[in-house]
Amino acid sequence: MSHPLDINARAKAIQPSATLAISARAGELRAAGRKVYNFSAGQPDFAPPAGVTRAVTERLANAPVGYAPVPGTPELRDAVAAELAAYHGVEIQRGQVVVSCGAKHSLANLFMVTLSPGDEVVFPTPYWVSYPEMVRLGGGEPVIVECPRSQGFKLQPEQLAEVVGPKTKFLLLNSPSNPAGVAYSHAELRALAEVLHARAPQAWILSDDIYRKLVYGDAGHASIVRACAGIPGLEEQIVLVDGVSKSHAMTGWRIGFLVAPAPIAAAVNALQGQTTSGACTPAQWAALAALTDPECIAAVDEMRGRFAERREAMIAGLRSAGVELVEPDGAFYVFPDFSALCGEGERFADDLALASFLLEDKGLATVPGSAFGAPGHLRLSFACGLEDIREGLAALEQALASA
């Protein structure tokens, strides 16, 4: 007699990723010969900078590939510390840096070592799909603040004041954000930091900066560390998560990093030592080249320029179709509002039905806004060619005209 292996309650509570499900269905349609406009992509469609692959190829030919140290190779950790110290205007030591298997892994590690039952993590909608589940898996409670299109998808100080308190462990900010691409200014970050310090002085700020290098226009990216400068206590209560996946088109290399005060970094290192151990050694060589090779650094600027051109095409096409949106400041997403088409008495029951219709009937792969805590919206990625953007949006305009 066999005895089934039970799945525990923690695993049963995990919600599957809607973005991965859409990508899988789009892949099935492509395999069947359908033309699919992939506006669901969460990764650049460019090749990594040539210097990345060259550096790895050269080292593979001349060095054995052994285990990497659990927190990352010394060279990569030093490079991360140097870059982020210069960017944020603070001193960062190697011991504050832990390299992991992607920024997602860094976030999960942090939650696992810092959250206890009852701890709250505050973040706004629309949020990256994995935030709530990772917080729960870490033992904490997500506190989600609704931030609609009317306020630019940004958390306001008065909203933050209403939800933070003695249970708040982190304020989690993603700027520029996935899925909306909105970025906070220095003044906006400062206002949030002052409220957090006044209402919950024990709370920390967790800044997910994975899209930091993909900001368009003259304003640039605002550093949370600089925004918190001079606020007693809070300026030391910041954790940074970053990586090379989005900025250098290196998603498959799976390298991210966390920067935190040494005791937190040590706890993350201990956890990682008993789970994944060190990230892939050749991938760390690649990340080192990405951060230090002048050719690789210049390639980021080139990719950002091409994304900016695609962004303009995406915005123009959506406006031509009469769609309401907040223009993204960064990343490679736009998050238009289709709520007028969704709901009781409308053409589509909800944004999931709309996304399904667009994929199955028009070959447009999008991601429902419900996955990001913002029903009635769709996430469209411009990590695809200009021709696909223009053709796909023309098909969208036709679909909306007949809806």
Per domain, the residue ranges of the chain are 9-47+297-402, 65-293
Instruction: Choose the CATH number for 65-293 among 3.40.50.1000, 3.40.50.720, 3.40.640.10, 1.10.30.50.
Output: 3.40.640.10
pLDDT at 403: 67
| Cα distances (Å, whole numbers) of residue 334 to 149, 153, 296, 385, 395 | 12, 12, 26, 15, 17
pLDDT at 41: 86
State which amino acid sits at residue 23.
S
pLDDT at 233: 93
Residue in the block written with tokens 């040539």: 50
pTM higher than 0.85: yes
State which amino acid sits at residue 88.
H
State the Cα–Cα distance between residues 364 and 356, nearest whole angstrom. 9
Q: Is residue 39 within 8 Å of 332, Cβ to Cβ?
A: no
Which residues contact residue 3 at a Cβ distance below 8 angstroms, ignoring those fewer than 6 apart? none
Mean pLDDT, 10 residues at a time, over the chain (403 residues)? 86 79 84 93 94 96 94 99 98 99 98 98 98 97 98 99 99 98 98 98 99 93 98 96 98 98 99 98 98 98 98 97 97 97 88 93 95 97 96 93 76
Beta-bridge partners for 176: none
For the beta carbon of residue 136, count every other beta carbon within 10 angstroms: 18
State the Cα–Cα distance between residues 70 and 198, nearest whole angstrom. 37
Identify the CATH number of the domain defined by range 9-47+297-402.
3.90.1150.10
Domain 9-47+297-402 matches domain 65-293 at the CATH topology level: no
State the Cα–Cα distance between residues 264 and 272, nearest whole angstrom. 12
For the beta carbon of residue 133, count every other beta carbon within 10 angstroms: 16
Among 207, 202, 199, which residue's Cα sits nearest to residue 164? Answer: 199
pLDDT at 10: 86
Instruction: Count Cβ neighbours within 10 Å for each residue of 245-266 and write b for 16 or more, e otherwise.
Output: bbbbbbbebbbbbbbbeeebbb
